[in-house]
Structures are given as structure tokens and as C-alpha cells.
A and B are shown apart, each in its own frame.
Chain A
Amino acid sequence: MPSVFKHINLTTLSFVALATAAHAERGSQGDLNLFYWQAPTLLNPYLASGPKDSEPASLVLEPLARHDETGKMVPWLAQAIPTLDNGGISPDLQSITWTLKSGIKWSDGTDFTANDVVFTANYCMDADSGCQMTAKFTDVEQVVALDAQTVKISFSKPKPYPYAPFVGLEVPVLQAAQFADCMGANALNCSAQNLAPIGTGPYQITDFKPGDVVTYDINPFYRDADKPGFAKVTVKGGGDASGAARAVLETGEFDYAWNLQLDPQVLAQMKSAGKGQVVSSFGTAVERLQVNLTNSAADLGDARSTRDGGAHPFLADPRVTEALSLAIDRSTLIDIAYGDAGHPTCDVLAAPAIYASGANDACLTQDLDAARALLDEAGWTDSDGNGIRDKDGVSMTLLYQTSVNPVRQTTQDLLKAWWAEIGVATELRAIAPSVFFGGDQSSPDTYQKFYADLEMFTNFFPGNDPEPYLNNWACAAIPTPENGWSGMNVPRYCDPDYDALLAKLGNTVEIDERIAISKQLNDMLMQAGALIPLVHRGEVSAHANSLEGVRMNVWDSELWNIADWTRAK
């Protein structure tokens, strides 16, 4: 039986083989300087606002299991990944039992036990705590310690993929003794704890100035006597992506810089200084156009961009969105705007590779004639001779919005030019990212309200199970005024067949069948024209040439293996 669990078990073994590689002495490598230009403000991932906080925290706090750079799960504080075969997952799929490594100590010298895991789960599941990671504990009924080394997590319904709690950088284990007074509504008031959590990781926090700098030294009780290599680590924040890239690639002031989405030529020019190299890694992130299938006309008032307001005058026709997609030269777009950090894609579920459908790859090649023919066939012709197609008095003019970002504005300019060639006019709008992604109910410019015809941003899913991601396009996930514009079904796509197939996916355990259903769901979305995928995007970071051991990881913290990093001699 090829099951998802067996698959993981094999990779566990391969990791153990890798981890036993010879290593230098603890603390012999000097100082390490990291540049996180979006400065960390809080080092408790449960209250954090994103990777800018949880990545610096990952030097200290550790989960039971992590994902390695290939996206496979590796045990971290646990002895092994629980599976059906090793009895870690109950046959009814309603519970998972983790066995912890023995002899692990917190950086204050006390023992790490199953009680810490139970405490952390209760800490986050408390309704008053303001925990940002509650989605990771969906359907968790209770977490109990069977003994000092064993934790059992029970679910209220069968979970074919039970690896959400305590897997990955967002959900590490907190020390029960330190956070005991921080339960519920007190969570946010515990600033001393939230700014300097005690952890089991290779480093401990010595000083933290929120929004500026974090300094670490070695955790004296770290489990591996030879690691970590670097004696001191500094994470510096502030500035912008280009400044961070320059500090590593051109001036060599820093050893590592994170999140460098820059013009590929700018990056290449910095790289030519010869001080460092650019690393990129592809996760599940896909830059896509969201197609508004509903009418966004301003005169509809409250029914604007809702299904009550009716279908979009032309984008609801899949032939039109197919034509728009065919008019895009994705390879040229990537050459100019993304460089090595992008691959062309026609699937919104483009990774992990086993889930990529490939059934929609016709759009990879630009074909303006085919696009024009599709629009002609749909009845859209230039009847008044102004260069813009129209039908029944409606002109094919698109309002295309995205966030302010040089790469996105370049994409907007290029797409506008290509669409002009097939007779579609485009009006561009760029919105400040803090507004566009801010979710402010009173702003008309949020991506959820979608008061436009097309909008562009990237979305991805953590880990390697696409089910929660595909749930984004269920009818129930449509943002509406009634639900406070929450939900990720931005195209307002609603198909009962899609919902039925999603439900089937939720009850399927067989990995091959899960893959087949996931591909089918992706194809349904593509054929309905709800989304136009553009680029499978990689994360880009840079590190100094002298830094060794970096295994760029998009599935977990980029600093996941920092204990193995060394300085080239």
C-alpha cells in the first residue's frame, strides 16, 4: 500500500544519514550576522505576525518535527514521525502519539517533558489568548501526556493528515514553567516571556531590541555537544530588500539576508561583486491573477463584487480568461521580472511536484492569434473601431490591481501591453501593501473586497498537504459583507461539484487517490477561469561565500539547520 506515512518513514532514515556528517567543535566558528530587513518585533511565534518573527524565534524554539529543504518531514524533538505503520497514528485516524527524544534540556537546565507540549497546546487553544496559530489546532479535541516522553493528540474527527500541531516553525514547543502565568488573556501582557522565550534550540537570546536587533549565544544545554558552530548570532532588522542584498553581496557586512525579491538584473549586478551568492528555493508559492467572476461595478452599492450583484459582464466566460492567459508570454515575463526565482506555470497547485497537474500547459506558449480567435468566438469584436473589443455596448476594459512592488508593476506593464494586442484595454492600479493586504473593513482597497476585475498576488500553503489550500475555493470561503470579507475564495468561484469533490478529498487517505483528486480540483479551477497562474515563485535569500552548510528551505525556517552552519577556512 503506497501511503503517505510510509513515504515519510523512508525520508526519516535518509535524514539521519545526513545529520551524522562530521562537524567541527562547538562555538569554534566565531560570529554570525543575519539580516532580516523586516525586523522582528516579537519572538513568540504563537503571537507573531509572520515569518519575520517566527524565523528568528526558530533559533531558540523548536517543534516536534520540521520539514527539510525537500519538503519532507524530519523528527526534531520527537524520536520518529508517527505513522499508521509504526502505530503512532491510530487506525481510526482520530489520534496521533508522539514519543519525545530523551535527555533534552531547556536552556535554563531543566528537563523538556511531555507536559511542555500539553501546556503549549492548551496555551494556543485558549480562546482568549489571541493565538495566531489556532488553524494548526483545528479539530484537536485534547492533548494529553501519557508519560514524561509521550504525548497523545486526539481529534474530533478522522484526520487523514494529522501533522498540523507541532510540525513546522510556526508551532514550536514553549516552556510550561516560563509561560505558566501567560494563559488566556494574559498572553499578550507577558512581554518578558514573549520577547525572550526559553527554548531547546542551539541558541538562547541574550538581548532583543524589538524592531531592531536580536543577539544570541549558545544554549549551554544543547543536545549535540559539537554544535552549533557559531558562538554568537546577531539578527539585524530594518531597511529594505535591496539594502539587505547589498550588505551581503556587495559590502560583505552580513553573512545572510532573507526575502530578497528584487529585479533579477539588480541582484545579478550585486552578485558580480563576488562576496556572496544568491540561493533560491521553490515551495508552493504561485503568483496568480485572481479573476473576479462577479460584477464589480460601483453602482451596485453593497452588492458590488458579491454573487448577489450578478456575474461579471465578460470574465465569467471561461473563453475570455483563457484568451487573456494565452496572450501572456510567461517566459519573457520571468526573464525580465523574476530571473532564477521563477518558473512559468499554468496550474495554481504547482508544487509539490507529485501534485502538479500539467493538464493546462497549453498556456505556457504565448499564442496571440489563438487568443484573438477565442474572443471572436465568444462574440467580442471591435465594432466601433476604437481598438477595444466590445459587445452589446460593453467595452472590454479591465481594472487590474495589485500591491506596490516593483516586480508587480513590471508585470502589470507587460500584461497591459500584451492584452492591448488582442484588443483588451487595461487600467492599472497599485495599492500600498499595508492597505491591500491589511484587511481593514473600512478600506475599499483590500484584496478581499476586490473592487476590480483582476488582481494579482502570491499565495502558498505551508507543509506539503494541499487540502487546506484547495479548501480556499469552496463556496463557503467566498468573502462577503455578511462574513466581514473574510475567506480566501477571492474569485467568488462557487461550484457544487467542486465542493463535493473537496469533501471526498477530506475523507480520502490513500496518497495516490489524494493526488488524483487534488489534480482534478486544480483543473476544475483552471477550466472555470477563476485564476490565471503566472509564475511559480521561489524564495530568494543570499549568503556570504564564506558561509557553509546553508540548506535553503521554503517549507520551514530558513535557519532550520543553523546548528550545522560553519565558516569556510
Chain B
Amino acid sequence: MTDLTFLSAPSSGFWRRFQRHKGAVIGGSLLVLVLLAVLIGPFLWPHAAGQINLTARNLGPSLSHPIGTDHLGRDLFAAILQGGRVTLLVGVVAMALSVLIGAAVGILAGMVRWLDAPLMRLTDLFLALPVLPLLLVTIMLWRDSLRALFGAEAGIFLLIVAMIGLTSWMQTARILRAEVLALKKREFVIAATALGLRPWGLIRRHILPNVMGVIIVSATLGLANAIITESALSFLGLGFPPDHPTWGRLLFDGTEYLTLTPARAIWPGLMITLTVLCANYLGDGLRDALDPRSFNGRK
């Protein structure tokens, strides 16, 4: 089973290579830290996000409000934690959807000859779609029906996640198709086919494990992309309701107060940048670690 060597047997080799990429290690750890903070933070933090306190308006950093309060006395740290949940959840779910579609389309196009051309033209079509205008139109068209079905927040969440997922799978699909086409010519795949392995078995046992690296890299980049798109939507004043903070929304609200309480814009902006940067470094490191060709090149 030569094809599975670098995934199963010498996984220590993968770790060793991954650890050599300092940026990836730092990025990965920070990302885990951010994830843990937004998951557990809101339960531990004494202030609730969105709790108005008119006696504590526009405060600077202090022990009880480490990054201050906004113009209605709401604790900014609580808002960042709460907003991070939504932003990261949107990022993760949209990324999962995008990778799923991208992998399916890419592998199908690579494996099934007569599906190749139509699927690739579909990919081109989606690549040509301008994402933000499309998002604006769909939000306008389907917001009300989804709101009636799932409620205001869940409805808009599904809509945003679905739209980001549906409009960002194309890179993954293209790269995967190329990888699959190359793999199909390799001896071990030809041998497996000659031995009578059915196409599905071929995909599961030989193709998928070999393209896993590409998929993981796409996923980390997709996460960064989804967070940016959601922030852009919120920054445009669309997306989630105004009292439902996400990092993009907090940044948008904060720009008006840049001179009065700069922390309101700096911290959400910093969190977006940090998370996206971490995800990118992590993807970078994973690619190097998973790519057998870089195995000898790196010291």
C-alpha cells in the first residue's frame, strides 16, 4: 500500500515536517486558542454581550472591562467573544460545505470522463459570478421565507453559510480534478483497476487518501475566505441583525467612534486579521508537511 505511506505509517514524519514550519505551529496554536476562547469564554465571562449599562458608557480598558465599553455601556470583550462564535461558526460551516462540494465536483470530474467537460464549465460559470452582488440579491429574495421557517438568526445564518459555501468551492474542485487526473495515470491505480477494484472503492482506498493534503489546505484557506466574506457583508450593514454582533458588524459599528473609542474598531479588526492569518499559516504549514515532494527539499 504505497499510496497510504505518508498518511498512516510515518505520521511522526508528518509531525516533524509540520513542526519545522514555525508559522504554522504558532498559527495553529493561536487558532485553537481563539476557538476555545469563543466557545467557553461567554460562559465564564461575567458580562453578557449586549447588556446595556448607561452608567458605564465609553469606558477605557479596566479590570472589569479589559478592552472598555461602547457608547451604550456594553462590554466590548463580551461582544468580541460572542461575535467570534458567530463569525467562526459561519467560517467553519461554510468552509465544510465548500470543501464538500469542491471535493465531490473535482473527484467526479477527474474520474468520470463524460462528466469532466460539463462539470468544468459549471465551475467556470461559478467562477464568473460576482459573489457580493449575488449574496445581496439572495438575501433580499429568501430572507423572509427562511426567517418564517427557522427564525431570524438561524434563517440568516443558513442563508449566509449556504451562499458562501456555494460560491467558493471552485478552486478546490479545479485543483482536485488535476490531482485526480494525474493519480489515474499512476501505476498503483492502474494496477488496482486491473485487479477489478470498482470505481467507488478506487476513490475511497486510493484517490481520497492521496488528495487529502490538498483538501486540508483548501479547507484552511476556505475558512479564512468565509470569515472575510461574512465580515464584508456585516461591514456593508447586511447579514445578521444589528443587535447580533459578529466581528465584521462590530468593526462596522466601531468605525464611527474611531477617535472617541478606537478600541471598538481595533479589536474586532485585529481578531479578524489574526484568525485569517493563523488559518493561512496553518494551511501553508499543512501543505508543506503533506506534500511528499517538499519532503527532501526542506531542511
Contact = CB atoms under 8 A, between A and B. Distances in A.
Contacts of B242: 409, 412-413, 428-430
Given A299-B148, A406-B253, A413-B243, A263 B260 contact: yes
Interface string B129-169: 00000000000100011011000100000000000000000
Contacts of A416: 243
Nearest to A264: B71
A266 B256 contact: yes
A242 B71 contact: no
B241 A410 contact: no
Nearest to B151: A427
Contacts of A311: none
A93 B81 CA distance: 68
Contacts of B145: 298
Contacts of B256: 242, 262-263, 266, 406
A336 B237 contact: no
Interface stretch (A16-24, A76-84, A95-103, A443-451): A443-451
Contacts of A404: 237
A414 B50 CA distance: 11
Given A404-B237, A432-B237, A451-B144, A266 B52 contact: no
A336 B236 CA distance: 24
Contacts of B57: 336
Given A263-B71, A414-B72, A432-B237, A298 B144 contact: yes
Interface string B22-63: 000000000000000000000000000010101001100000
A231 interface: no
Nearest to A304: B144
Contacts of B52: 413-414, 417
B259 interface: yes
B235 to A, nearest CB: 11
B93 interface: no
A265 B259 contact: no
A453 B168 CA distance: 36
User: Which of B50, B52, B54, B243: most chain A CB closer than 10 A?
Assistant: B243
A428 B236 CA distance: 16
A266 B256 CA distance: 8
A443 B50 CA distance: 30
A441 interface: no
Secondary structure at the B interface, as helix, strand, loop or mixed, is loop
B260 A412 contact: no
Nearest to B73: A336
B257 interface: yes
A444 B72 contact: no
Contacts of B260: 263, 265-266, 269
A546 interface: no
B120 interface: no
Contacts of B238: 432
B20 to A, nearest CB: 48
Contacts, number: 63
A443 B140 contact: yes
Nearest to A267: B260
Contact of B148 (A242, A298, A336, A414): A298
A336 B72 CA distance: 8
A356 B238 CA distance: 38
Interface string A398-425: 0000001010011011101100000000
Contact of B243 (A242, A406, A428): A428
Contacts of A410: 71-72
A360 interface: no
A427 B241 CA distance: 8
A332 interface: yes
A427 B144 contact: no
Nearest to B50: A413
B68 to A, nearest CB: 14
A428 B144 contact: no
Contact of A427 (B148, B152, B259): B152
Interface in B98-117: none
Contacts of A409: 242, 253
A223 B71 CA distance: 51
A429 B241 contact: yes
A525 to B, nearest CB: 28
Interface string A107-127: 000000000000000000000
A565 to B, nearest CB: 29
A265 B140 contact: no
A480 B107 CA distance: 52
Contact of A444 (B50, B144, B243): B144
B250 to A, nearest CB: 12
A269 B148 CA distance: 44
Contacts of A299: 148
Interface string A451-490: 1000000000000000000000000000000000000000
A416 B52 CA distance: 10
B254 to A, nearest CB: 10
Contacts of A265: 58, 71, 260
Interface in A533-562: none
A141 B209 CA distance: 84
A414 B54 CA distance: 10
A332 B55 CA distance: 11
Contacts of A451: 144
Contacts of B241: 427-430
B54 A332 contact: yes
Contacts of A429: 241-242
Contacts of B147: 298
Nearest to B241: A428
User: Which of B50, B54, B148, B237: most chain A CB closer than 10 A?
Assistant: B237
19 contacts: A242-B256, A262-B256, A265-B58, A298-B144, A298-B145, A298-B147, A298-B148, A336-B71, A404-B237, A406-B253, A406-B256, A409-B242, A412-B242, A412-B243, A413-B52, A413-B243, A416-B243, A429-B242, A430-B242
Which 7 pairs between the two chains have the least Cβ-Cβ distance?
A404-B237, A430-B242, A406-B256, A428-B243, A298-B144, A417-B52, A428-B241
Given A336-B72, A429-B242, 10 more contacts: A263-B71, A265-B58, A266-B256, A336-B54, A409-B242, A413-B52, A413-B242, A428-B241, A430-B237, A451-B144
